[in-house]
A and B are shown apart, each in its own frame.
Chain A
């Protein structure tokens, strides 16, 4: 479980996150939605201890992220942010293999190598495995980074806008992969801008606006015409398709 209590964050006095409280149950895909500047990325970065400990408290599976060793937390959660710039010159296989670092600390065994091979297959990277990451397209590089995060094999996977640069087929494949992880007992917190991916694949939605959590609950409760139109301050319609909400915007 991820427990967030009174979490606040500001940049030079400008509040980015205002005393957020949140409890995320394990075994679900939780989508974080909201307009630009809502504080979604900040919330994920604070949960993943990428930003320094702020006001408030975050616990992941009972571990306080402010006081627990980073190495220990790396076996509880994997985080992938929006930035895929890489200063090091690495081949795709080497990058993905770094996902095993928290488990093998640079001395991979057969299980680690098998996990890397599986991730290369899952993310359609086998033919790119020996290419340098810097030679890949944006979408291919994004898949390589996703494969690295998944290879970490942690109970929690925290992804900030992972669909960036992905084509529709690979975006769908990623969500299907996350669903399989969820079915196997894993938990995912994912920032999504495409509301139909959120509505189609998530089990739980957290909606944010102006640094505050304004709604959370099952998909059908949060993804409604009134709530989304209010959240994004633009006309949005929600209908249904195969039992899931379908989000449409007016042209």
Chain B
């Protein structure tokens, strides 16, 4: 049903009010933005479900644990090290791939040990450590921002806030090149993620190569977070809402269904939100604020009705 809704929204997005003018140009522009939104939505939704499975916790998200802040910190460091011209003159693809690789390496090193041993007893410590790391990365990025000259800071600042209207430009192709295999691998790992979701002890007893799985899943989360952050900037609670809705609306805990559900729900929310934002509200509001506010309210309703576990 959600898939049908996404198809309907995609058609609405592409063809509503297309007009008689230069429709080829408009359609190409809309298609690019639609692909960008769909990629971001799938990346955020899947990354959050994956992360929550590894962390054994439904409250944690890559954003709360500071993955996107880490991405921004890496970008700030790159701008600081290379300067405005050096950073800007890097080929888009190479720059994006380098940033994604750095984020993957650093996040696996930082979170691998922490989340690899996550259990019911250590959830509190895991949350606290993650939030402290998140604050540290954000503070590091802010500190570097203060040290940069205004031109350099403008480059970093552009990436620091969620903006769904930002044209994808040359990044979209590279982002898709990374995200689509990551999404496919996530789907392929579905049954093994089901075992991982039982918790460390049970997963090992059932034959899961637990540590290898945790590191692999964290690498997927890092790649997907890099993709979404590079395309639209950090989205704080979107993943939490989408994963919460997927868990609440789907009957079981099978990851293939959860991952697809989270991706499709995220697409439906983002495309409908951006459509309303651009075509109904006439760009008089900010989608990130609207989505997170509306989604937050819906999440609260489900929480109060006891449907989010």
- Chain A residues near B (Cβ < 8 Å): 45, 48-50, 69-75, 77-81, 83, 85-91, 94-95, 98-99, 101-102, 105-106, 134, 148-149, 152
CA distance A17 to B207 in the complex (A): 25
CA distance A94 to B195 in the complex (A): 11
Residues of B with C-beta under 8 A to A45: 201
- Chain B residues near A (Cβ < 8 Å): 53, 56-58, 119-121, 191, 194-195, 197-202, 204-210, 247, 252-253, 309
Known: A89-B309, A90-B253. A83 touches B205 (CB 8 A): no
Known: A50-B204, A105-B191. A71 touches B209 (CB 8 A): yes
Are A88 and B253 closer than 8 Å at their CB atoms?
yes
CA distance A94 to B206 in the complex (A): 14
Are B57 and A87 closer than 8 Å at their CB atoms?
yes
Are A90 and B252 closer than 8 Å at their CB atoms?
yes
CA distance A104 to B197 in the complex (A): 18
Residues of A with C-beta under 8 A to B58: 87
Least Cβ–Cβ distance between B205 and chain A, in angstroms: 4
**Which chain B residue lies CB-closest to A103?**
B207
CA distance A98 to B195 in the complex (A): 7
Least Cβ–Cβ distance between A105 and chain B, in angstroms: 7
**Which chain A residue lies CB-closest to B204?**
A50
Are B201 and A70 closer than 8 Å at their CB atoms?
no
Residues of A with C-beta under 8 A to B204: 48-50, 70, 79
Residues of A with C-beta under 8 A to B120: 83, 85
Known: A106-B191, A106-B194, A134-B309. A86 touches B206 (CB 8 A): no
Residues of B with C-beta under 8 A to A49: 204
CA distance A50 to B121 in the complex (A): 16
CA distance A106 to B197 in the complex (A): 14
Are B205 and A85 closer than 8 Å at their CB atoms?
no
CA distance A129 to B198 in the complex (A): 18
CA distance A109 to B279 in the complex (A): 52
CA distance A87 to B53 in the complex (A): 8
Residues of A with C-beta under 8 A to B207: 69-75, 101-102
CA distance A78 to B194 in the complex (A): 18
Residues of B with C-beta under 8 A to A75: 207
Q: Which one of B57, B205, B206 has the greatest number of beta carbons of chain A within 10 Å?
A: B205
